[in-house]
Chain A
Amino acid sequence: MANHHDDHHHGHHHDHDHSELSETELRVRALETILTEKGYVDPAALDVLIETYETKVGPRNGAQVVAKAWADPAYRQRLLTDGSAAIAELDYVGRQGEHIVVVENTPSRHNMVVCTLCSCYPWPVLGLPPVWYKSAPYRSRAVKDPRGVLRDFGFELNSDTEIRVWDSTAEIRYLVLPMRPDGTEDWSEERLADLVTRDSMIGTGLPKQPQQAS
């Protein structure tokens, strides 16, 4: 699948700069106009859908789940036993998170999540997936050369640590519970959540260290 974003937008966000519309932009405009005119879509509902995933549902949700699991051993146990139910306690529910399984990193096992067939991803806790997660390089290599993929993220996994890759081929969604960084023993959930990165919950990264906290 083409990484078209990289051609024009790598490292930038300038989608309002274009003066001429691409064929795709024209098609989408025409489609929305036609479907609105037919009464199939209400543009106000489209705005709410976009706003939801741009401002409300994202990896901050997952970070709250992880921080709570780090701070509360009973919650951690519930999370590992029935991920969806424990995550619903924080009111993160619904589409693309109906059946969530949480997998825990340990010193001997590192978990990483992929969807080789499309882009399955736990929306209620992580939001919509980043481009790289949906890209051919990640989908093709995560299952064959997972340590090499981690190196693409600047992450060298200890050679003694088993790497466990979860290919999301059904409606089960996986969330990685990363290991709590050392030196955070007396931290509140709120401070801990600031250490939890999106990539640490996919398994392509690690949480921030205490000295990197914002």
Chain B
Amino acid sequence: MDGAHDMGGVAGFGSVRPEPNEPVFHAEWERRAFAVTLAMGKPGGWNIDMSRFAREDRPPEDYLSRSYYQIWLVGLERLMLERNLLRPGEIEAGKVLQQPAPISGPLAAADVDAMLRRGGPSEREAALPARFKIGDRVRAKNIHPATHTRLPQYVRGHVGVIELTHGCHVFPDTNAMGLGEQPHWLYTVTFDGKDLWPDVADQRSRISVDAWEPYLEPADAA
């Protein structure tokens, strides 16, 4: 979706403010929000693309007015509400209002390390040969899906070059919507800064995105 999360190139946010000796978390609630989000992945049963969509799919003013872990929190609440793991009004009431929906069991302290070490690799067996090879000129399609996508707006319609191929990976556009992993070839596509931002860009910058095959077409297509 063309949402507020898609920030590449947006003006007006001001300068970056590095924080010397920054702590990992800035408040106790951030620690708990982070940990609850990770711990709920297993019983919740959603995937990372569903999580991302739950965070970004909101009005721009909502997205932009929340801090990072506040966005995690509303995303988590939404995923749980959608699955009846959380009932409307329960957080406000501060207690369980309805018998919980059954789950497969919570993440145990003893299993945390193994869960983190396992991670969630996204590479899958290739079912088809790659359409593009390193060095090919490709155009990022000018698409505007209403649902989740990982093709940022600032490259759409622009021509870049395939710099790396990464094998086939879970396709977020379908995976986020519960339509399956539908793995596609994934490429690093590199754009010249002068092409993306001709009137402002640094004359010696190149910018890449990682793009799945359905996001791309041959640059020389009619």
Contacts and interface: CB of A to CB of B under 8 A. Distances in A.
Co-assembled chains A and B = yes
Interface of A: 1-6, 9-11, 13, 15-16, 22, 24-25, 27-35, 37-42, 44-50, 52-54, 58, 93-99, 101, 116-119, 127-128, 130-132, 134-147, 149, 152-153, 159-172, 199, 204
A142 B7 CA distance: 10
A45 B7 contact: no
B117 A94 contact: yes
B91 A30 contact: yes
A168 B210 contact: yes
B107 to A, nearest CB: 5
Nearest to B97: A34
Contacts of B44: 40
Contacts of B95: 33-34, 37
A28 B32 contact: yes
Contacts of B19: 5-6, 10-11, 130-132
A29 B31 CA distance: 11
Closest 6 pairs between A and B when the two form their complex, measured CB to CB: A116-B8, A170-B210, A46-B35, A38-B100, A4-B67, A171-B122
B205 A132 contact: no
A170 B212 contact: yes
Tell me the interface secondary structure of chain B in the complex.
mixed
B73 A140 contact: no
Contact of A1 (B36, B63, B94, B116): B63
A186 to B, nearest CB: 30
Nearest to A171: B122
B24 A143 contact: no
Interface string B132-158: 000000000000000000111010000
A166 B40 contact: no
Contact of A15 (B26, B96, B204): B26
Interface of B: 5-11, 13-20, 22-29, 31-36, 38-40, 43-44, 48, 52, 55-56, 63-68, 70-71, 73, 76-77, 85-86, 90-96, 100, 103, 105-109, 111-113, 115-123, 150-152, 154, 164, 166, 169-170, 172, 186, 188, 196-197, 200-202, 204-212
Given A31-B77, A93-B119, A45 B205 contact: no
Contact of A96 (B91, B119, B154): B119
B35 A165 contact: no
A84 to B, nearest CB: 9
A2 B64 contact: yes
A29 to B, nearest CB: 8
5 contacts: A52-B112, A98-B119, A118-B52, A135-B16, A165-B208
A52 B16 contact: no
Contact of A40 (B10, B85, B151, B197): B85
Nearest to A116: B8
Nearest to B211: A169
Contacts of A147: 202, 205
A45 B111 contact: yes
Nearest to B91: A30
B66 A2 contact: yes
Contact of B121 (A52, A99, A116, A139): A99
A130 B22 contact: yes
B81 to A, nearest CB: 12
Given A1-B66, A2-B64, A40-B85, 16 more contacts: A22-B29, A28-B73, A30-B93, A41-B43, A50-B32, A54-B25, A58-B24, A99-B121, A101-B188, A131-B26, A137-B17, A143-B207, A144-B196, A152-B17, A170-B166, A171-B169
